[in-house]
Each structure stands twice: as C-alpha cells, then as structure tokens.
C-alpha cells in the first residue's frame, strides 16, 4: 500500500505522535491543579480580558477543529476501516490532540478569569511539535497527491493557529501592563468574592478557584445531615464557617498551607505512640493496593476462563477448563466484602476507634477548659456539634484515602490496562468517556445546587415549624391557635415536598445524562473491541475481560458524584473543630500562680473596672472591702452589674483594670482550682443535671454520705419536700431540672452550696423564686452556712438582705451607696427609694397574707423584729411624708397619715445592724 508521507514510520514522528498529546494533557492537567490549589486567578480588567478570552477561545477551537478535519481527511483517504492500521499512530495523535484541545476550549469557556500559563504552555509545546511534524516528513518527500496538499495545508493552519495564539497572548500581555500595574496573577479569588456562588465556577475542577463555590454547594449538602437549631441559626453557622475557611485561605494563600493548618489533628488521627496501630495502617494501605490489583485481576481471570473454554470447544485438549473458574471464584471472593474489604475494615477499626476516642475526648476536654466568654457565646448544641464533628476529621481522611485515591488509581489502571489490551484507541475512547463523564457530572452537580438548596431550606423550614409548634403547644392552646399551627405546618410540608420533587427529578436527570455518556463510551469501546476480535485476532476472552471491567468501572465513577459533597461537608466540620482547638481559654493560671491561702476570707475590690464588650463598660471603678466573716449585700436596679461582681470573684471573667484580692492575694495570682475550691455559689438560675436529686446535691462534694446530704437539704428547707416525692431522693429532676419548680431547684442549689461548706459564699438571687415562708426557713439554713464566712448576697427582695452587715447599692456599674440598712434608710437615697417602693407594693399583699398567724410568723421582717434590736419603720422612714408617687409606678398612693404597711404590722421594724 502506498503510505502517506505523513505516515512514514520514522521513529521521531511516531514518538511525537504519542508524546505530544500525552505531554500537552499532563502539562495542562497538572498546571491547572496547581493553579486551583494555589488559589491563583487573573486580575485583568474584565472588559479587556473578555475580548482576549473570546478571540483566544476561537483560535483554540480552530486548532481543535483542524485536528478533527485531518482525522476526517485521513478517514476519507483510507476509506476502508481495515486499512487504517498503517496510519494508526497518526490517527491516535490527531484524535488525542483534538480531545486535549477540546478540553482546553471547555476549560476556557467555563473560566471567566483564567490564569494563562496552563494555556500558553500548551500552545508553545504545540508550535514546536506542529512545526516539526510539518517539516520532518516533507524534507524527505515532497507532497504529491491532492491529499498530501490537504494534509500539509491543515497542518500549516494548525501551526499558524498556535503561533497566533501565542503572539496574541504575549502581545496583549504587554498591553495589560498599561491597564494593570499590579501585574500579579497570583491573587486569591476569595478575597474578591467571598460570598459569591457561581455554578459556572465549579465546573471542570480546572477553573474552580472555586473555593467559594465549593463551600456554597456543600452548604446545602451539609444541611440534610443537620437537623438541630432553627434555620436562621443554622444558616448563620454555615456562613461563619465559610467565612472562617475563606479567611484562612486568604491568610494562607493556597490550599496546601491551608491543609497544613489541620496538622494540629495529626496526633489524634495518627497513633504516634502505638507501633502496633501504625503497622495496621501500613497493612490497610497494602489492602487498598491489593484491591486495586484485584479490580483488574478479576475481569482478566474471567477472560482467561472464557478463552480456555472456547479453546477447549475448538478441540484444544491442553486447555484446562476447571482451574480458571476456581481461580476466578477465589479472586472474586477475595475482592468481595468477605475478603479483602473485611480484612481492611478489621485492620482499620482500632485505628478508627483510636482517632474517634482521641479527638472526641480532646475536644470535650478542651471545651471544658475554655472560659465563660466562650461558653456564653455558644449554644450547647453548637458545642455538641463541634465535638461530634470531630468524627469528620477522620471521615475526611477516610474519604480521601479509601475512596478518592483508590478511585483515581482504578481509573488510571483501567486506562493503562485496556490500552495495553486493545491499543491506543481504546485508551482514547476511555479518556474521552472519563473526561465527558466527569465534566457532565460536575456541571450538573453545580446546576443542581440551587435545587438542593431549596430542598434543604424546605426540609429545615418544615422541621423548624413542626418543632416550634410542638414546643409552643401551650401557647398555641392558650391563644386557640392550634388550627393556625396545623395549617402552617401543612404548608411547610407541601413546600418541602415540592422542592424535594424538583430535586429528585434533577437527580434522576443527572443519572440519565451520566448513563448516556457511559453508554456512548461503551458503544465506542465495544465496537473497537469487537472489531479487533473480528479482524485483528483478539480473543473472545479479551472481549469478556473488557465487558466485565467496564461494569466494574461504573462504581468509582458513580462515587465521584458524591465525593465532592462528602469532602466539603467534612471540611466544614473539621474547620469548626479547628476553630475550637485554636480557641484558648482566657482565664488561666499564671506561670507563678500559687494555691490560695485563705486565712480569714477578707475580700477587697480595688478600683475594679470590667466590660463584657469594650464599647459598653459594665463595672466602673468599683471599690469596697468585705471584712472576713461578714455578709455584704448587693442591691440595685436590674442590669446594674451585681451578678457580674460575683462572677469576677469566682474569676469567671478577669477584671479589665484594678484588682480583686482575697486575704491580700490577687485572685489572678492564685490557681483557679484553689480559688473555686473555696467558693460556693448559688446562681440565679441553677442548672441541675438530669439525674437523681441525691446525685445532684452530692455533686458539690462527691464524698458526702447520705446523712450529710439530708442535713444539707434540711438546712435548705427541701428535705421534707423531697421525701414527699414518690421516689424521694431517687427522683429524676429532668433535663436541667425541668421537673422541679423554680423554688425547688433553687433550694437544691442551696443544699449543694451548704454541703460544699465553702469559705466564701456567693448567693445570687438564691431565694428569688421561693415564697416568703420558705425563704424564712432557708434564711435559718443560711445562718448556719454563712456564720463566720464571707458572704455576698445579691437580692431584689430587700427584706432578704436587710440584715447584711453592709449593703452596696449598684447602679449602672457603680456603687452609688454603701452602708447598713439603717444608715441607708436614713440617707434617703436610692436604697431608701427601693425600700419604700417594695414595702408599699407589699402592703396589700401582706394584708391578705398576714391574716394567717402562721404567715405572720413567717414574715421575715417580723422575724427581724423578734430577733434584733430594731428601728421603727415609721420613725426611720416617715414614708408618708417622703413617698413619691411618681417613682412608685405601681400600687396606689398612700393616704396621708396612714402607715405604708397598712394592715397588721403598723409598727414595722428593721434590723438595726449586722447580726
């Protein structure tokens, strides 16, 4: 046959035929990956760049088209397929190059602001190779036939296209300098468009400076995993995590450094101290490689079996028809869930458990070590999510090591093996199929993102409305809004179902499109294999191998659709956990901190200022001293800063300026443990554990025996009440103590404090939720508890604190008055105002209550009367004269000449001084 001069089997030409498309492909793919990972993007002016991009795209299409044109010309020249063989190298080169430059054109279409070096690199390679291929064959033989001229013309056109591309690019690059002084291609996209989500940007991984898009897509993806919290808080949480990732990416400058940030997790993921576990990890890697090998060996063995059988049928008695079947079955078994997968999971399980245990306990311990500012700013569900999210770090690793890497190895082996079996065209068909499949999948996944977002939003809305309506059943019933809630929920379910329908349909369409691509690929590959079996002496066994192998390849490819979502979801969780690990406690022991030596319990506030938020000071220059063993009361309007003072004593926050000292030791210089050991707190809103009453009280001192617990409860006036419960001390208190009344909860908290027997006692509205009778009983308990102990009492009910040695009136973060009850009453300042309001409001109430003699005796003020030296109310206050109705705000104006506390206690007496 008369060979075309361009098909002369010169080694140089043949090598170029294969090396060129391969080189261009790898150069382009690798440089694009580097571009994405190093977050490079173009910073040219959009208008300017768009013109260039369009022209360049047109020229790339011309070049790709020229390859196809030459392929067609070759096909026409050698019109009988069976005679293609001599030109096979050349046809491969043409088709592979058309594919590579087709991919380049697609990447260009999908990238708004491309980074150019992956592109112009390919053009420069193409100029050299194309010129060589144009000149080399024609040096030895001038073109003669019409075909020769056509071929040369097409090649010349192609070479010109590449030259034009390069000159255009470099020409405009000089132009660029006039427009853009920055001259920097290396710039993070995220800084420019931190919240932009463009489906276009996700496509083709090549252009996906798509860190933002990545996160956007998975925002919705992650949603169906999470069903806690309201939609808004969830969206807010997602946004914050996205911002965190963007911020860190911007700081780090590329994905490699970003990934390095996660090295903090290394000791939790990799068993640094256990050689046995490390050995297991190595064996797991070996199992993965064996799996990859088995993925080829199984179809190959099927081919051997078929070949032996057909040989045997044709009369070749030497063929063993039984053994290959046995080997096939064994290989199949080993490659199945009961074989290598089982071994791998068995090996991996201890590693998985190691990392789960390490990361969960570390994150819980870390969270418990953090300070109030952290805990005050997070909800419990956020924190739990962060702990459970620790699993995502191992998930991320598992997804990459056990799924992504094996998938690419499988695809690479398939490509190489089938190429070796059926020649370069099979490789070409496979490459075209894989590229189309991955392209279509990424494109459709991006297009589905909005559908998915709607679906997730619908799901969350339904969940939130359902949850809220059940939670608010009481309110709904009270306002007769049950039908309204029902309709609202029905509507939400309907919207959710509609969104789900659209999403499911789009999923089905995606599967259909993927199926179509795979079928086209299969058809092309199958025809090629059939052709080779029919014409080129390939065996039926090889065809069988191909068919079985093709089926096995569907798995990794299908997995690709979900991998992106899995990775991004895990990444978000890992980022959350990383943020947590990087948060340091703000209240820590100083290096020189010593244990607190509590001698007497003398507490001093020296020019203390504090703010939760710098813009809004909470305490301003607070000064006071509480001598050891004395009781100081903090009173004043709500939000004044009373509880904050108690928090500062327990070092739940540190002062911003000034100092707090106990027995002359600055509390910042003593260890936190020793400080809190000495302090007992009854908080405003005590939180109980969902456990028995006995366990809750004993929590204060785990070594206390039952009798001590009973005594503490007696002192807190709750013992008899507990005994009246069906399960007594074994009664469960419910979540946060929900099964107890507010007053019961407070008394349990008081019992705890009594059991702890602390040296310094902080009572923050400890009895606000109990009735006056019970309060009286508790006061008796406090008497014993507080005796000779420094005590801080915050209370709104002034009768609770009137016996305190000292009363501080706190207003807007300042101490505006200070003194004993009598002194303050006489001073007729703020305290006097508060007192007069309270006693006035109380008067009517007491009129009713005091009808009962028992209640009378329970009245704390009467109690004070009995116990103490007293000051007559009318004398001390002369309230009728001083009462200011405009300040009262409630109740009626007292009639002149009538005592404020009308009713039984005409002569109201108050404590004349400290106990």
Report the nearest approach of ligand ATP to the CB of residue 383 (Å).
16
Q: How far apart are CA 441 and CA 540, in angstroms?
A: 33
Name the residue nearer to ligand ATP (CB basis): 656 or 893.
656
List all residues 6 or more positions away from 435 whose beta carbon is below 8 Å from its beta carbon: 99, 103
State the nearest-atom distance from the C-beta of 655 to ligand ATP, in Å: 14
Alpha-carbon 415 to chain mean position: 37
Query: Both tokens of residue 410?
Result: 């499988």
Among residues 681 and 722, whose Cβ is nearest to ligand ATP?
Answer: 681
Q: Between 684 and 874, name the residue whose CB sits nearer to ligand ATP.
A: 684
Query: What is the SS3 assignment for 604?
Result: strand
Kindly tell me which of 159 and 383 has the beta carbon lying closer to ligand ATP: 383
Nearer to ligand ATP, 378 or 739 (CB): 378
On whether the CB atoms of residues 682 and 769 are closer than 8 A, the answer is: no
Q: How far is the CB of 227 from ligand ATP (least distance, A)?
A: 28
Contact 457, 499 (CB under 8 A): yes
Alpha-carbon 490 to chain mean position: 31
596-to-134, 604, 672, 696, 704 alpha-carbon distances in Å: 89, 15, 9, 27, 24
Three-class secondary structure assignment of 51-80: HHHHHHHHHHHHHHHHHHHHHHHHHHHCCC
SS (H, E, C) 183-234: CCCCCCHHHHCCCCCCHHHHCCCCCCCCHHHHHHHHHHHHHCCCCCCCHHHH
Which residue, 426 or 815, has its beta carbon nearer to ligand ATP? Answer: 815
In whole angstroms, the minimum distance from the beta carbon of 618 to ligand ATP comes to: 5
User: Whole-number minimum distance, CB 810 to ligand ATP, in Å?
Assistant: 6
Within 835-915, strands assigned E span 870-872, 909-911
Q: How far apart are CA 297 and CA 807, in angstroms?
A: 87
Closer Cβ to ligand ATP, 452 or 642, answer by number: 642
- Sheet order of strands, 665-666 included: 619-626, 603-610, 657-662, 665-666
CB 507 within 8 A of CB 448: yes
Residue 808: CB minimum distance to ligand ATP, A = 11
Q: What stretches of 536-614 show up as alpha helix (H) in DSSP?
A: 540-582
CB of 834 to ligand ATP, least distance (A): 12
Give the C-alpha separation, 861 to 868, whole Å: 10
Other Cβ atoms within 10 Å of 755 Cβ, number = 23
Minimum gap (Å) between residue 812 Cβ and ligand ATP: 9
**Least gap, CB of 762 to ligand ATP (angstroms):** 12
Nearest-approach distance from CB 637 to ligand ATP, in angstroms: 7
How close are the terminal C-alpha atoms of the chain, in Å? 123
| DSSP 3-state of 515 | helix
Tokens of 646: 């108690």
Residues contacting 422, CB < 8 A, separation 6+: 525, 528, 529, 532, 538, 542, 546
In the bound state with ligand ATP, the residue whose beta carbon lies nearer, of 118 and 640, is 640
Residue (293 or 611) nearer to ligand ATP, CB: 611
Distance CA 646, CA 795 (A): 12
Strands 619-626, 603-610: pairing kind: antiparallel
Instruction: Point out which residues bind ligand ATP (CB under 6 A).
Output: 376, 612, 618, 638-644, 684
CB of 642 to ligand ATP, least distance (A): 4
Shortest distance, CB of residue 804 to ligand ATP, whole angstroms? 16
Task: Report in angstroms how near the CB of residue 634 gets to ligand ATP at its nearest.
Answer: 8
> Which residue number, 392 or 643, has a Cβ lying nearer to ligand ATP?
643
Nearer residue to ligand ATP within complex by CB, 47 or 377: 377
* Closest to ligand ATP by CB, 261 or 658: 658
CB of 844 to ligand ATP, least distance (A): 24
Q: How far apart are CA 166 and CA 123, in angstroms?
A: 6
Q: Which one-letter DSSP state was computed for residue 86?
A: G
Name which of 406 and 829 has its Cβ closer to ligand ATP.
829
Per residue in 665-697, is it b (16+ CB within 10 Å) or e — as a string?
bebbebebebbeebbbbbbbebebeeebbbbbb
- Phi and psi dihedrals of 836, rounded to 5? -65, -35
Cβ nearer to ligand ATP, comparing 206 with 644: 644
Distance CA 819, CA 809 (A): 9
CB of 686 to ligand ATP, least distance (A): 14
Are 655 and 587 a contacting pair, CB within 8 Å?
A: no
Q: Which is nearer to ligand ATP, 765 or 901 (CB)?
A: 765
Strands 631-635 and 760-764: unpaired
Residues 6+ apart with CB under 8 A from 36: 205, 206, 207, 208, 209, 210, 255
Cβ of residue 623: shortest distance to ligand ATP, in angstroms? 17
Nearer to ligand ATP by Cβ, of 409 and 816: the residue is 816
**Distance between CA 454 and CA 457 in Å, rounded?**
5
Cβ closer to ligand ATP: 618 or 696?
A: 618
Question: Among 701, 693, 679, 786, which Cα is nearest to 748's?
Answer: 693
Minimum distance of ligand ATP from residue 186's CB (angstroms): 42
For ligand ATP, the closer of residues 232 and 376 by Cβ is: 376
Question: Could you tell me the smallest distance in angstroms from the CB atom of residue 763 to ligand ATP?
Answer: 12
């Amino acid at each position: 046959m008369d060979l075309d001069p361009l098909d002369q089997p010169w080694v140089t030409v043949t090598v170029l035929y294969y090396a060129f498309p391969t080189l261009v492909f790898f150069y382009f793919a690798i440089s694009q990956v580097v571009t994405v990972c190093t977050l490079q993007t173009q910073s040219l002016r959009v208008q300017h760049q768009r013109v260039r991009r369009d022209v360049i795209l047109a020229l790339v299409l011309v070049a790709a088209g020229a390859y196809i044109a030459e392929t067609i010309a070759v096909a026409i020249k050698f019109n009988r397929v069976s005679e293609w063989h001599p030109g096979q190298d050349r046809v491969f080169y043409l088709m592979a190059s058309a594919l590579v430059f087709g991919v380049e054109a697609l990447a260009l279409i999908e990238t708004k602001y491309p980074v150019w070096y992956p592109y112009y690199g390919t053009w420069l390679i193409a100029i050299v190779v194309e010129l060589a291929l144009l000149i080399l064959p024609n040096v030895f033989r001038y073109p003669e036939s019409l075909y020769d001229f056509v071929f040369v013309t097409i090649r010349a056109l192609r070479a010109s296209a590449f030259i034009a591309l390069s000159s255009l690019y470099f020409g405009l690059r000089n132009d660029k300098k006039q427009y853009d002084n920055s001259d920097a291609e290396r710039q993070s996209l995220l800084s420019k468009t931190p919240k932009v989500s463009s489906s276009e940007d996700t496509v083709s991984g090549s252009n996906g400076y798509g860190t933002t898009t990545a996160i956007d897509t998975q925002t919705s993806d992650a949603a169906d995993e999470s069903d806690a919290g309201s939609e808004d808080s969830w969206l807010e949480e997602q946004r914050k995590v996205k911002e965190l990732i963007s911020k860190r990416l911007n700081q780090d400058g590329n994905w490699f450094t970003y990934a390095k940030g996660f090295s903090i997790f290394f000791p939790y993921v990799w068993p640094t101290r256990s050689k046995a576990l490390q050995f297991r990890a190595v064996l797991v890697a070996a199992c993965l490689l064996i799996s990859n090998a088995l993925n080829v060996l199984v179809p190959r063995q099927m081919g051997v079996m078929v070949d032996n059988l057909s040989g045997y049928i044709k009369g070749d008695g030497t063929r063993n028809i039984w053994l290959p079947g046995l080997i096939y079955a064994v290989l199949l078994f080993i490659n199945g869930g009961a074989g290598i997968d089982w071994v791998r999971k068995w090996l991996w399980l201890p590693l998985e458990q190691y990392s789960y245990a390490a990361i969960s306990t570390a994150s819980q311990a870390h969270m418990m070590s953090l300070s109030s500012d952290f805990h005050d700013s997070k909800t419990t569900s956020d924190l739990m999510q962060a702990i459970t999210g620790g699993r995502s770090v191992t998930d991320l690793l598992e997804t990459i090591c056990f799924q992504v890497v094996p998938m690419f190895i499988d695809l690479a082996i398939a490509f190489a093996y089938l190429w070796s079996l059926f020649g370069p065209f099979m490789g070409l068909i496979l490459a075209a199929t894989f590229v189309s499949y991955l392209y279509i999948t990424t494109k459709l996944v991006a297009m589905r993102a909005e559908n998915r977002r709607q679906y997730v939003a619908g799901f969350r809305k339904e969940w939130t409305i359902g949850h809220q309506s059940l939670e608010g059943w009481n309110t709904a019933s009270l306002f007769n809004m049950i039908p309204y809630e029902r309709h609202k929920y029905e509507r939400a379910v309907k919207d959710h179902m509609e969104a789900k329908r659209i999403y499911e349909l789009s999923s089905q369409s995606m599967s259909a499109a993927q199926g179509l691509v795979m079928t086209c690929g299969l058809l092309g590959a199958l025809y090629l294999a059939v052709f080779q079996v029919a014409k080129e002496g390939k065996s039926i066994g090889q065809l069988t191998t191909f068919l079985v192998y093709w089926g096995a390849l569907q798995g990794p490819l299908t997995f690709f659709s979900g991998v992106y979502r899995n990775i991004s979801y895990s990444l978000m969780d890992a980022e959350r956990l990383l943020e947590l690990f990087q948060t340091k406690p703000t209240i820590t022991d100083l290096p020189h901190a010593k244990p607190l030596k509590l001698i007497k319990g003398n507490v001093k506030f020296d020019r203390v200022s504090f703010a939760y938020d710098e813009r809004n000071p909470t305490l301003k220059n607070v000064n006071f001293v509480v001598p050891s063993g004395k009781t100081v009361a903090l009173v004043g309007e709500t939000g004044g800063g009373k509880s904050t003072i108690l928090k500062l004593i327990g070092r739940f926050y540190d002062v911003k300026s000034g100092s707090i000292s106990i027995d002359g030791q600055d509390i910042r210089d003593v260890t936190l443990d020793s400080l809190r050991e000495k302090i007992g707190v009854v908080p405003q809103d005590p939180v109980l554990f969902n456990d028995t009453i006995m366990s809750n009280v004993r929590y204060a001192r785990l070594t206390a025996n039952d009798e001590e617990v009973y005594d503490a409860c007696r002192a807190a006036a709750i013992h008899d009440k507990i005994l009246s419960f069906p399960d007594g001390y074994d009664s469960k208190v419910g979540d946060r103590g929900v099964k107890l009344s507010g007053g019961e909860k407070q008394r349990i908290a008081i019992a705890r404090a009594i059991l702890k027997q602390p040296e310094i006692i902080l009572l923050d509205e400890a009895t606000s939720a109990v009735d006056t009778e019970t309060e009286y009983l508790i006061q008796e308990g406090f008497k014993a508890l507080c005796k000779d102990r420094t005590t801080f009492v915050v209370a709104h009910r002034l009768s609770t604190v009137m016996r305190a040695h000292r009363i501080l009136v706190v207003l807007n973060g300042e101490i505006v008055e200070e003194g004993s009850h009598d002194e303050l009453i006489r001073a007729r300042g703020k305290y006097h105002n508060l007192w007069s309001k309270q006693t006035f409001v109380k008067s009517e109430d007491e009129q009713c209550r005091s009808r009962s003699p028992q209640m009378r005796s329970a009245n704390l003020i009467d109690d004070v009367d009995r116990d103490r030296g007293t000051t007559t109310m009318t004398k001390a206050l002369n309230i009728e004269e001083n009462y200011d109705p405009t300040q009262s705000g409630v109740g009626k104006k007292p009639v002149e000449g009538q005592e404020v506390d009308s009713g039984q206690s005409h002569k109201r007496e108050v404590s004349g001084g400290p106990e």
